[in-house]
């Protein structure tokens, strides 16, 4: 069984990206720049923002964190985004989610200029991906396909199932796999016959955030499994299927699997860095 090591793949690809950023910095006379809007004081959000800033700094991308109060009104937050949209020194804008409850998240995302939307979450970027003309692709789906390709996993003509239909992961991952010529099924909590659908799939992407709904016995032999989930279990992160109890059987049955942690997570951050560079290049 191949372990689809996202940490190592992201490390290798980051060093190539760093060289590209050095050239770009020379060409445009400044570093590419990301601004992250961080609203409120949620500790986990602050932690994720810190990781993104660290990755930017390691690669030579300027990362500005724009801290906003927990009680910021919707129109004020939209105004901040409009200012960043107009600011030519800012190549990329990211709004750290989740936002406080009084904020309409969807309107905030839509306020971002799609050319600076490095999370790829605006309807414009979503539609362009669905139309087969991607501009900025959501980071986790992009990272998944990069990881599979870097490990030489053939996707053309394969039967794939994506379990999860969120705008963040499930739907765009299905679009990406379709673009790679997979025959794709999207499953969710109301899917009937999930067991039969899983049993047929050569590529299984799990993005439920629910442990052990899909067990190793359910996947077909030689399946490639991408476990996107980050479930907290006894103080550790585990996947929807990837955990120490399931690993021996997974090793016997499947062709390849992403570990949790160290699989999709590092590839998501790498894709964010790539999207910032793409946004700066296209600008």
Contact set with ligand NAP (CB under 6 A): 140, 163-166, 168-170, 187-191, 207-210, 213, 228-231, 264-265, 268
Partnered with residue 92 across adjacent β-strands are 34
Residue (90 or 120) nearer to ligand NAP, CB: 120
Q: How far apart are CA 113 and CA 140, in angstroms?
A: 20
245 is a catalytic site residue: no
117 is a catalytic site residue: no
User: Helix/strand/coil (H, E, C) string of 76-127?
Assistant: HHHHHHHHHHHCCCCCEEEECCCCCCCCCHHHHHHHCCHHHECCCCCHHHHH
52 is a catalytic site residue: yes
- Shortest spacing between CB 199 and ligand NAP, in angstroms: 15
Q: How far apart are CA 185 and CA 189, in angstroms?
A: 14
Residue among 119, 142, 227, 240 flagged as catalytic: 119
| CA max distance for the chain | 56
- Shortest spacing between CB 182 and ligand NAP, in angstroms: 19
Residue (271 or 278) nearer to ligand NAP, CB: 271
- Shortest spacing between CB 30 and ligand NAP, in angstroms: 29
Residue owning tokens 């390691």: 58
Helix (H, G, I), strand (E, B) or coil at 15: helix
Residue (134 or 265) nearer to ligand NAP, CB: 265
The angle that helices 264-282 and 139-150 make with each other, rounded to 10 degrees, is: 110
Residue (128 or 230) nearer to ligand NAP, CB: 230
Residue (1 or 213) nearer to ligand NAP, CB: 213
Q: How far apart are CA 271 and CA 204, in angstroms?
A: 21
Residue among 33, 80, 96, 116 flagged as catalytic: 96
- Shortest spacing between CB 87 and ligand NAP, in angstroms: 28
**Closest C-alpha to 209, from 230, 225, 189:** 230
Residue among 13, 52, 142, 158 flagged as catalytic: 52
Residue 149 gets the label, from left (phi > 0), alpha (psi -120 to 50) or beta, of alpha
Active site residues: 52, 96, 119
């Amino acid at each position: 069984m191949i372990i689809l090591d996202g940490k190592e793949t992201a490390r290798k690809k980051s060093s190539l990206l760093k060289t590209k950023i050095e050239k770009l910095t020379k060409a445009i006379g400044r570093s590419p720049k990301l601004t992250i809007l961080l609203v409120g004081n949620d500790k986990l959000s602050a932690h994720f923002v810190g990781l993104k800033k660290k990755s930017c700094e390691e690669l030579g991308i300027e990362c500005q964190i724009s801290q906003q109060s927990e009680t910021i009104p919707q129109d004020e937050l939209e105004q901040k985004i409009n200012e960043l949209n107009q600011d030519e020194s800012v190549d990329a804008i990211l709004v750290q989610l989740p936002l406080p409850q009084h904020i309409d998240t969807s309107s905030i995302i839509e306020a971002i200029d799609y050319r600076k939307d490095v999370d790829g979450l605006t309807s414009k970027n979503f539609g362009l991906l669905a139309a087969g003309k991607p501009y900025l692709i959501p980071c986790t789906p992009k990272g998944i396909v990069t990881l599979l390709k870097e490990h030489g996993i053939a996707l053309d003509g394969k039967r794939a199932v994506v379990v999860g239909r969120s705008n963040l992961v499930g739907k765009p991952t299905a679009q990406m796999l379709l673009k790679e010529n997979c025959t794709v099924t999207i499953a969710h909590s109301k899917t009937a016959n999930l067991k039969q659908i899983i049993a047929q799939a050569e590529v299984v992407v799990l993005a439920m955030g629910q442990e052990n709904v899909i067990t190793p016995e359910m996947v077909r032999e030689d399946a490639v499994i991408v476990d996107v989930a980050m479930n907290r279990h006894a103080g550790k992160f585990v996947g929807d299927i990837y955990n120490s109890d399931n690993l021996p059987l997974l090793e016997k049955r499947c062709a390849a699997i992403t570990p949790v942690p160290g699989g999709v997570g590092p590839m998501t951050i790498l894709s964010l860095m790539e999207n910032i560079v793409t946004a700066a290049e296209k600008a």
